[in-house]
Amino acid sequence: MRTRLLVTGASGQLGGALALLAPEAVVLGRAAMDFDRPQTIAPAFATAAPGLVVNAAAYTRVDDAERERAAAFRANAEAPAILAGLCARAGVPFVHVSTDYVFDGSKGAPYRESDPPAPLGAYGASKRAGEEAVLACCPRAIILRTAWVYAAEGRNFLRTMLGAARRGVALRVVADQRGSPTYAPDLAAAILAIAARIEAGGWQDRFAGITHATGAGETTWHGFAEAIFAEAARYGFPPTPVTPIATVDWPTPTRRPADSRLDCTRLREVFGLRLPDWRAALARAMAALFAAPV
């Protein structure tokens, strides 16, 4: 890309994937732009002087958000709004990443962008507040809602499952929550493709607003776990039984949406993009993971 790209959230899975795919980008972590200290945002933005911004930073500790509500809203709503406002005033395209947790999971079908949000907890509420704040400050912003993000690195469901199995933990995984696993490098590639379309063809009004972007296909957390171990077996990982359980058998401080599948039709129609099937993506993730220490 010729455009100077600024990416926030250097330590996160998506930020890391963007850094690898776009080594020319300015990728900032908390040391330079701390969303828990919003006063750091404007100076870091001015120093970076970006031509396009991707906000991959967020407070993502779903259960902790219930007792750290102010911090969640500061990082997921207040800080993105400041960054969006800076982009709007500078005429810089802004891509902001949101979540399936803005929905309560009761629809019984994949959610479209026009469906009314109904978050179940503080994390989802803070992310929804961020969506609203970003669009209020920068109506031309692109908001990408995604779900179940994982990578070969970092803290995520994939590595948690493998780590627990190595420690001999008996695995019991929820089988009544449905969604679409999303491989961080695939999401990063889609974001960079969107940036390239903007760079090549200029801004188009239809780009603005909310677009859903997840791995193609669907499963449950239990189905995801079983697929992880099926792939791991190809690398000599021992057979690992995973017991399916109901959500009520694994209580957490925050309720999770039972069915947070997202309809990604708009991603294809507006941007001409479709993320790979989640099973194919998982195979690539496992190849990357077993090529390096876990």
Whole-number Cα distances in Å, 175 to 156, 216, 250? 18, 19, 11
Q: Give the C-alpha separation, 22 to 122, whole Å.
A: 33
- At residue 50, the 3 state secondary structure works out as coil
Q: Exactly one of 59, 101, 111, 123 is catalytic; name it.
A: 123
State the greatest distance between any 2 C-alpha atoms of the chain, in Å, as a whole number: 56
Q: Quickly count: other Cβ atoms within 10 Å of residue 108's Cβ.
A: 9
**Paired tokens of 285:** 């993730």
Known active-site residue 150: no
63-85: b (≥16 Cβ within 10 Å) or e: ebbeebeebbbbbbbbbbbbbbb
| For the chain, counts of helices (H) and of strands (E) | 10, 12
> What three-state secondary structure class fits 282?
helix
Beta pairing class for 182-183 and 5-8? unpaired
Handedness of CA 147, 152, 153, 154 (dihedral sign): positive
Q: Give the residue numbers marked as catalytic.
A: 123
